[in-house]
Amino acid sequence: MFHKEGYRIIVVTFIVVAVLFLAAHYVSMPTWAQYLIWSTGFIFLFLILQFFRNPKRNYTLDSNKVLSPVDGKVVVIEEVYEPEFFKDKRLQISVFMSPINVHVTRYPVGGTIKYSKHHPGKYLVAWHPKASTDNERTTVVVESSVFGPVLFRQIAGALAKRIVNYAQEGQQAQQTDDSGFIKFGSRVDVYLPLDSKINVTLNQVVTGGLSVLAHQK
């Protein structure tokens, strides 16, 4: 199963790869060149299909837990000042996604969407210290009945050139539903109340919609 954001790119990739295969078959060239074109086409198509996959998962909704919004690796767990919405200190958990991870972004909690904003910006590598403030990004805040306002931020990386954000202020968000998509490498930051109980450790691999980032004490 593939995400809707990838349909156009997948179709275009199929067409390009098909043209390359036909050219390799009908145009006179050395055998090694044909094999190189075929193998390169297969690898490229595989990577595109891998990137836009959207696997079915059995989610368990729990308002007392904050679920990971994306697949990836936990790269930051720290107390920081959040300047855009809260303007105070929060617990930040950041998950880095490589190009081979599932890139669907899911709501980590359910509730009313209080804030949703897109910021144009740079394309620094996703782990750069200034990526959270300088890169293209979107900020979404969901009012949870248990945690209060929970902020999560999609951040473009060096390869990510488009962030898709479905969240609209005033809408009801259901935990684990799609909130957006980031194309080709990125990271998501989650900002929680200081009294939240963290359930993950640095460098832990997490799964979107399944892994618990934090729970209420």
Of 56-70, 123-137, 176-190, the poorest mean pLDDT is in 123-137
pLDDT digits (tens, 9 = 90+) for 1-45: 776 776 888 898 889 888 888 887 788 878 888 888 888 888 888
- Which residues are known to be catalytic? 186
3-class state of residue 124 by DSSP: coil
- Hey, where are the domains in the chain? 4-51, 65-215
3-class state of residue 91 by DSSP: strand
DSSP state of 4: G
Residue with tokens 């900020």: 139
Kind and range of the H or E run holding 81: strand 72-82
Strand partners, 66: 214
DSSP state of 53: B
Out of 2.70.70, 3.30.70, 1.10.3230, 3.40.50, which CATH number does the structure's domain 65-215 have? 2.70.70
Residues 6+ apart with CB under 8 A from 129: none
| Residue 202: per-residue pLDDT | 97
pLDDT above 60 for 160: no
Q: Confirm whether pTM is higher than 0.85.
A: no
Longest dimension (CA), the chain: 69
Backbone φ and ψ for 138, nearest 5 degrees, come out as -125, 145
- Please name the residue ranges forming H helices in 79-172: 131-134
Angle at 56 between CA 152 and CA 149, to 5 degrees: 20
Residues 6+ apart with CB under 8 A from 55: 1, 102
